[in-house]
Every structure is written in structure tokens, then in C-alpha cells.
């Protein structure tokens, strides 16, 4: 039986979802419909204007009488207090300045507001930007590391899927100075939903099934994002090795992180103690204490991140494995978690913890 905690909030907060027909937008709308404190007040999209999302995707069980509307800042501001942006990289930056002028809280799921340094952003992303001043206000949307700043922020750039799993695995190591930062290697594997819902040849079932495929080796855009946060945690610049691989699952992302320990005398129990303490107040983190390795299936459909930790005394390395659902903790689940924190609510509100198994 679920606990009957009464929620004393008769007045729900109105939110907008801009980019509502992307995979992330759809998933977000479904989460919001189950949120006890939030109410959808605006669905913005470039296509399908005036149509109902529930008519476009009748199988989604979206019971909402709200037509898709243009991406217009004034109209959004009129209907919402908080806006979630699930647009392709490069589009949020043209909209957010106006939304912020109208005092809306903004939670962006693209790469546009993940970087405090324009230089770092431009080393991997193209295009000029005129919203420099906003970058100083940006908070990186990874609650386990920036909970306090998120709670005070009005503009959050949600962490990418690969960075989320990777940084949750790495953070205690760097924060406690346990490893040699230059030894950090992240070997990541992800399902095909990481590629979005645009039909591209390599994302066809016929191409993606039955294969294991590394891609963007040494050049992936999530690299500077991971490095920015690692550097911030360490207090000095850190360069990491990050390599993603595509595997035939729909949802699921595993980061396997390798690092040389500074103190080769540390054993797994030590690390477990450190990780458990580090994430003591993080309800979405599960540190596996019994030698289990996390599987991505365990997180499928939930906002959880499972962490498995091994120490190899032969090599002096620590190996940390982080498993998440790339669409949930790696995208919209995290966005809702950030929203909960910005509003001063329990960060578990409206988010699923039970995965689908089997």
C-alpha cells in the first residue's frame, strides 16, 4: 500500500513543455501528468499546431485538453510559471532570454545552458551567441552535485545523459581526492533512444540491431561537459577520456569509469563507505553494497541511478559502474527532479522509482 502522505498544496503550479513532440517532450508530458503539484499550461511545438498531443499519439494515454501552440515567449509567459525546453541543441538560446525577462523559471534539456564558459561551449558547438550574460546565471542541472545552487536558481541547464551517469560515478572520487584525475577513463554504452526520434539511417532497426558500435571516439560533445564539472569539483582543470558505444537496447545507459587510486591501500569497503556518505541525502542514487554489478534494465523507466564499485588491488584502480535510464535520470526525470528542488519540494515528487521488470 502506498503511504497516504497528504500534500498541502491546493494550487498547482503551471508549467510549459516546449518541444512537446520530441521523445523527451512526450516522456516529460507523461511524467508531469502524474505530478501532484504541477499542471501543464502550455505545450509548444514547431509542428502539429492546434492538434492535441493525445490525438497524435493516442496510445500514450495523455488525458489533456490543450492544443499544441507556437513557440512564442509571450504566450508561454501568459500561461506558465516554469518552462521545460526539450528542443534540439542551439534552439533554446534564442528563446530563453525573453523567457527570463518575463521572470519565468527555465529548465533546459539541451546543451545550450550547460556551460558557464562560452569558450568551452564553442570548442565543441557551433554558432555565435548573444546571450553571454545569461551564462553567469546558469546552474548545471545535476541535483546530486548542485542541489543547493539549483534550489536558488531560475535557469537550469540539465545535464546530458552520458554526463549524468559518468559524473555520478566520478564525483566522490574527485571530490575526496581519491584518484589521479588524469587517469580518468569513461567507457560508456547507450541504447538507441539517445539518438532521438529523427529517422537517421544508422538508427534503423535493421542497422542498430545485433551490433555493438563505438562512435564519436575522442570527439563526442559530452566530453567538455564532463570535463567542466570534473574541473569544478576538483578546483583545477581536468581532462578525461570519454568514448560512447551504441548497443541494441531502447533505453539504458551504462558508464564504466576507470581511475588510478592515489592510495593503493584502499579496499572496496572503504569506497562503499565514501560513496554511501556522499550520496546519503540523494534519494535517487543506489550504491550497491553487496558486490553486485548494476544493469541498465534495473533502471528502465525509473529515475534511479545504480552505482557499482570495484577495487582492483592488482592494478591499483577503482572501477565504478553507473546505470541509468537515459530518458529518465538522463533527461526528463532529472528535469522534474531539478524542478522539484527549485520549488522547494521533495525531490522525489511525481517521479517513478520502480522499473519495468522483466
Element (H, E) at 241: strand 241-246
Give dist(CA 143, CA 149) in Å, integer.
9
265 binds its own copies (CB under 8 A): no
211, 235, 264, 280: which one contacts its own copies (CB under 8 A)? 211
215 binds its own copies (CB under 8 A): yes
Q: CB atoms < 10 A from the CB of 37, how many?
A: 17
Residue 126: CB minimum distance to its own copies, A:
19
Measured CA angle at 114 (ends 32, 41), to 5 deg: 25
Nearest to 169 by CA among 242, 264, 96, 61: 242
Residue 3: CB minimum distance to its own copies, A:
10
337 binds its own copies (CB under 8 A): no
Task: State the DSSP code for 12.
Answer: P
358 binds its own copies (CB under 8 A): yes
Residue 156: CB minimum distance to its own copies, A:
21
Query: x/- string (CB under 8 A) for its own copies, residues 145-174?
Result: ------------------------------
Q: Would you say 152 and 292 are in contact if contact means Cβ atoms under 8 Å apart?
A: no
If the CB atoms of residues 49 and 217 are measured against its own copies, the closer one turns out to be 217
252 binds its own copies (CB under 8 A): yes
Residues 276-305 that bind its own copies (CB under 8 A): 288, 290, 292-298, 300-302, 304
261 binds its own copies (CB under 8 A): no
Element (H, E) at 279: none
33 binds its own copies (CB under 8 A): yes
1, 50, 74, 128: which one contacts its own copies (CB under 8 A)? 1
37, 116, 122, 276: which one contacts its own copies (CB under 8 A)? 37
Q: Which residue in this structure is represented by grid cell 540539465?
A: 158
Task: State the DSSP code for 261.
Answer: B
206 binds its own copies (CB under 8 A): yes
The span of 79-87, 94-102, 156-164, 350-358 binding its own copies (CB under 8 A) equals 350-358
51 binds its own copies (CB under 8 A): no
C-alpha distances (whole Å) from 120 to each of 113, 114, 117, 226, 332 are 12, 10, 5, 11, 25
If the CB atoms of residues 108 and 227 are measured against its own copies, the closer one turns out to be 227
CA 104, chain centre distance (Å) = 21
Residue 116: CB minimum distance to its own copies, A:
20
218 binds its own copies (CB under 8 A): yes
Residues 172-191 that bind its own copies (CB under 8 A): 182, 185, 187, 189, 191
If the CB atoms of residues 41 and 172 are measured against its own copies, the closer one turns out to be 41
Residues with Cβ < 8 Å from 27, sequence gap 6 or more? 327, 328, 331, 332
- Taking only Cα atoms into account, the Rg of the chain, rounded to an integer number of angstroms, comes to 20
Q: Is 123 helix (H, G, I), strand (E, B) or coil?
A: helix
Question: Starting from the edge strand earliest in sequence, which strands make up the sheet with 38-44, in order?
Answer: 38-44, 13-18, 82-85, 105-108, 155-158, 139-141
Element (H, E) at 310: strand 305-312
Residue 143: CB minimum distance to its own copies, A:
19
Amino acid at each position: 500500500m502506498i503511504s497516504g502522505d497528504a500534500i498541502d498544496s491546493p494550487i498547482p503550479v503551471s508549467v510549459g513543455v516546449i518541444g512537446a513532440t520530441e521523445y523527451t517532450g512526450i516522456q516529460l508530458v507523461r511524467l508531469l501528468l502524474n505530478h501532484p503539484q504541477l499542471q501543464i499550461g502550455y505545450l509548444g511545438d514547431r509542428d502539429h499546431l492546434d492538434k492535441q498531443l493525445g490525438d497524435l499519439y493516442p496510445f500514450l494515454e495523455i488525458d489533456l485538453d490543450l492544443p499544441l501552440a507556437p513557440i512564442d515567449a509571450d504566450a508561454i509567459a501568459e500561461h506558465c510559471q516554469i518552462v521545460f525546453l526539450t528542443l534540439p541543441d542551439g534552439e533554446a538560446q534564442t528563446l530563453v532570454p525573453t523567457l527570463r525577462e518575463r521572470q519565468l523559471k527555465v529548465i533546459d534539456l539541451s546543451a545550450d545552458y550547460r556551460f558557464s564558459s562560452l569558450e568551452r561551449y564553442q570548442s565543441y558547438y557551433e554558432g555565435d551567441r548573444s546571450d553571454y550574460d545569461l551564462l553567469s546565471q546558469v546552474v548545471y542541472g545535476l541535483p546530486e552535485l548542485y542541489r543547493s545552487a539549483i534550489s536558488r536558481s531560475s535557469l537550469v541547464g540539465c545535464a546530458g545523459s552520458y554526463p549524468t551517469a559518468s559524473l555520478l560515478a566520478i564525483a566522490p572520487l574527485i571530490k575526496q581526492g581519491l584518484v589521479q584525475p588524469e587517469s580518468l577513463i569513461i567507457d560508456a554504452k547507450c541504447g538507441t533512444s539517445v539518438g532521438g526520434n529523427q529517422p537517421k539511417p544508422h538508427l534503423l532497426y535493421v542497422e542498430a540491431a545485433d551490433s555493438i558500435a563505438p562512435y564519436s571516439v575522442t570527439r563526442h560533445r559530452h566530453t567538455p561537459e564532463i570535463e567542466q564539472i570534473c574541473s569544478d569539483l576538483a578546483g583545477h582543470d581536468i581532462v578525461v577520456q570519454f568514448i560512447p558505444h551504441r548497443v541494441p537496447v531502447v533505453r539504458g545507459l551504462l558508464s564504466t569509469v576507470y581511475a588510478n587510486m592515489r592510495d593503493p591501500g584502499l579496499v572496496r569497503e572503504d569506497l562503499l563507505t565514501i560513496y554511501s556518505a556522499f550520496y546519503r541525502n540523494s534519494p535517487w542514487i543506489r550504491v550497491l553494497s553487496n558486490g553486485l554489478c548494476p544493469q541498465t534494465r534495473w533502471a528502465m523507466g525509473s529515475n534511479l541511478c545504480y552505482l557499482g564499485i570495484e577495487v582492483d588491488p592488482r592494478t591499483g584502480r577503482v572501477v565504478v559502474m553507473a546505470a541509468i535510464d537515459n530518458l529518465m535520470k538522463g533527461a526528463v526525470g532529472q528535469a522534474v527532479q531539478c524542478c522539484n528542488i527549485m520549488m522547494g519540494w521533495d525531490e522525489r515528487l511525481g517521479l517513478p522509482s520502480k522499473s519495468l521488470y522483466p
